[in-house]
Structure 1
């Protein structure tokens, strides 16, 4: 069996980031979830904690789907769904992590990095990433939005 140390490290760090976000989300009431935090933003994903979490889950499935489709598969990520309570978002984050882990099940450390731009995956925002770069982006995405939610709750 080929090495999986780096793959497992990425998944562990991603899982830790998701667990940290879930710990914060669990303490958010249904009222806080839907409260408009920024009525002036042009970004619909940043209007409330609910829209931020919807974006985080949708993006997480998107990263994993992009990786799954890297060899020519054509699979769509699940649709964007607004949920109405914190536990539902925690469950959705768990589903997203299980899906991500299933995508990485057959990926070895040797597949994580490529320096050939033509072999990298084209994202929905038109940047090219190898598997490791996209996984690292996914981790930081969770951390950035966790920080955003934390800061919104301090207001």
Structure 2
């Protein structure tokens, strides 16, 4: 039996976005990771590379939880402290593993079968699985860009 091509493609792109994100983290110092970059923002998740990274990981778990909610009531609210680059890189890896597991045996369903599932998110948007994964990928890309812009300012 063959895995659903749409899911495989989206997970591969998710991993690719994470790989690029991790490359940036590997290229900076611990000081650059924790220093506050935006004192004017009201969003505590956007003050430093550290807080942005925590937000990216926490959001990744949330996306996976929505997918998993089709099959189980289990919901993991991510709250691990990200106090170093090494922990951030490790936790980004754990997040994608959790995401892959959230599909359970549904890797083998057809796209048509998967389209019947939808999620009303806590930010009040309704997605199907494909749209949620696309959102997850773009979320990482946007925050990778934000970090690149933080680093350009120095």
- Output the TM-score relative to the length of structure 2: 0.90
- The CA deviation string for residues 107-153 of structure 1, in whole angstroms up to 9 with x for no partner, is 23424434xxxx52111101110000000000000000000001101
- The alpha-carbon deviation at position 80 of structure 1 amounts to 2.5
The change in CA–CA distance for 1:120 and 1:38 in structure 2 (over 3 A counts) is same
- 1:77 is aligned to 76
- The CA deviation string for residues 65-94 of structure 1, in whole angstroms up to 9 with x for no partner, is 1110024x3222243233121111010000
Q: Please say if residues 6 and 109 of structure 1, whose CA atoms lie closer than 8 Å, have aligned partners that are also in contact.
A: no
C-alpha separation between the residues in 2 aligned to 1:83 and 1:145? 16
- 1:125 is aligned to 123
Question: How many corresponding residue pairs?
Answer: 150
Q: CA RMSD in A?
A: 1.5
- The alpha-carbon deviation at position 105 of structure 1 amounts to 4.4
- Output the TM-score relative to the length of structure 1: 0.90
- The alpha-carbon deviation at position 52 of structure 1 amounts to 0.2
Q: Please say if residues 61 and 78 of structure 2, whose CA atoms lie closer than 8 Å, have aligned partners that are also in contact.
A: no
- The alpha-carbon deviation at position 2 of structure 1 amounts to 5.8
- 1:48 is aligned to 48
C-alpha separation between the residues in 1 aligned to 2:91 and 2:60? 10
C-alpha separation between the residues in 2 aligned to 1:109 and 1:21? 31
Aligned-partner SS, 1:70? coil
- The alpha-carbon deviation at position 60 of structure 1 amounts to 0.3
- Structure 1: tracts of 5 or more residues without a match: none
C-alpha separation between the residues in 2 aligned to 1:12 and 1:112? 18
